[in-house]
């Protein structure tokens, strides 16, 4: 009688186990809190005469954060580059430092996204509400 081979053991030897990324709950909580604050204040200020000041300041804050994020990450020009892709004129230490710097910058700038996404959500929701509200109202005025 032949023994059956354990196929799952053979597969795990060939394919390395991928690590499951745990969701970072602190970042998620910070994102939700920032979104609630930014969106809530924006919607609250819609009813007051100085809303234009809030809108312009939100646009300036968003632009500064977005430009800061892009500049800090060097325009994302280093994303996806491996040591093999770098020129031979660089030493191995320079290649490793180049790749590690890109990963470090990406990791360190993650907190800025918790400030950028609330503005994107706020502006997107506002634009969508203008579009939907105008279209629905025009249907009933007919």
Q: Give pLDDT, residue 19.
A: 61
Per mean pLDDT, which range of 2-11, 31-40, 129-138 is the poorest? 2-11
Q: Which residue has the higher pLDDT, 23 or 62?
A: 62
In a domain, 9, yes or no: no
| pLDDT at residue number 102 | 81
- 62 is a domain residue: yes
Does 110 score more than 60 pLDDT?
Answer: yes
Flag whether 5 is in a domain.
no
- The residue among 33, 14, 31, 11 whose CA lies nearest residue 23 is 31
Q: Report the C-alpha gap between 3 and 121 in whole angstroms.
A: 59
Position 129 in a domain: no
Answer yes or no: are the C-beta atoms of 84 and 95 closer than 8 Å.
no
What average pLDDT does the structure give for the chain? 81
Q: Is 38 exposed, middle or buried (0-12, 13-18, 19+ CB in 10 A)?
A: buried
Q: Which residues of 51-64 are buried (b: 16+ CB within 10 A; e: fewer)?
A: eeeeeeebeeebee
List alpha helices for 6-50, DSSP H.
7-14, 25-45
Is residue 130 a part of any domain in this protein? no
Mean pLDDT of 30-56: 92
Q: Provide the domain count of the chain.
A: 1
The pTM of this model reads 0.69
For residue 82, tell me if it sits in a domain.
Answer: yes
Which residue range forms the structural domain that includes residue 56?
Answer: 24-122
Give me the pLDDT at residue 65, please: 94
């Amino acid at each position: 009688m032949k023994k059956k081979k354990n196929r799952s053991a053979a597969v795990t030897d060939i394919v390395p186990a991928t690590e499951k990324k745990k969701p970072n709950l602190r970042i998620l909580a910070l994102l939700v809190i920032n979104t609630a604050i930014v969106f809530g204040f924006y919607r609250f200020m819609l009813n007051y005469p100085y809303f234009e000041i809030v809108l312009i300041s939100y646009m300036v804050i968003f632009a500064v954060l977005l430009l800061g994020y892009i500049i800090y990450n060097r325009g994302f020009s280093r994303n996806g580059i491996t040591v093999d892709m770098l020129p031979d004129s660089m030493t191995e230490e320079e290649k490793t430092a180049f790749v590690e710097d890109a990963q470090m910058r990406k990791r360190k700038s993650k907190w800025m996204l918790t400030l950028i996404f609330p503005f994107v959500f706020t502006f997107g929701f506002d634009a969508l509400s203008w579009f939907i509200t105008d279209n629905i109202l025009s249907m009933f005025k007919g």
